[in-house]
Homo-oligomer: A and B are copies of this chain.
């Protein structure tokens, strides 16, 4: 820390992202990336002319991307804002709406960090003993609500009806649904935007569209909320998306077939792995995400993590009281999942 830092940032505890190892021998199942490359249409979109155009600023409205997203989600263009990853959109949302905020006590770890920086009253609502969100705890609150659906790192999803209950029981509060993992079997609530002005949905292209390295997220809401977020963006970093990510993202939204094929494959792989782990005695939470949260039999979460690591398999372990018995395993290719299976015999 330098001697110049503002007092409110002293002792700040930043988010710890999952390791991005340089060792390419590792089977990397720790940050929920897709095992499949981006759509061939993405690769084609980034051609030499686009590269030479890098000399010019990118479009701050990201029109090419927003158009493609609006068509995919079947909403108006002024209902969408693109972000430099969904983390940026979450940061802007906490800046705009996070003064008084509620979220589950086990969820995406970044909410706590944003809450500390931008919030004044942050309330974390406990999950039940099965690590599920208790829907009724979110009725009739007096501040913004943010819920990841499916939740992280549990992978457990609420139904659309359950989320609609939360939205309709909070008419005077904004309800933010973080749908980073929604494409792997959960129900999106984008279709509810027409009925509720207090809903904001945030999605990412990092998971189901194989573009973690392009850094693209989208916020989808009613146009007044999107205008708030744009005002913040234009007060912070107007050119927040680069030219190449913009065309990559647009192509990814257009290639619906490829997207669906990848999601289906990952769901199949997941369901097969869950069966095998359960057969081996693991307790696996019911996942609607591209990862599973699993408790190994007769060995601690930390030990299992270390054992996999020794065998060049990198998963994620969170050393926090409520979830330390589990590890989070990203669903990779079938071959990568076989490497997990090979380690079952030694348990």
Interface of A toward B, CB cutoff 8 Å: 1-6, 9, 12-18, 20, 28, 31, 33-38, 42-43, 46, 48, 51-60, 84-85, 87-88, 91, 95-99, 113-114, 117, 144, 173-174, 197-198, 206, 210-215, 222, 224-225, 227-228, 230-245, 248
Contact = CB atoms under 8 A, between A and B. Distances in A.
Given A5-B96, A20-B60, A225-B2, A55 B84 contact: no
A244 B17 contact: no
A43 B37 contact: no
Nearest to A221: B2
B231 A12 contact: yes
A55 B15 contact: no
Given A2-B224, A215-B239, A239-B215, A43 B52 contact: yes
Contacts of A236: 87-88, 91, 117
A9 B231 CA distance: 9
B144 A87 contact: no
Chain A interface main SS type: loop
A37 B31 CA distance: 35
A218 to B, nearest CB: 15
Question: Closest 5 A-B residue pairs measured CB to CB?
Answer: A14-B234, A213-B243, A2-B224, A37-B52, A55-B210
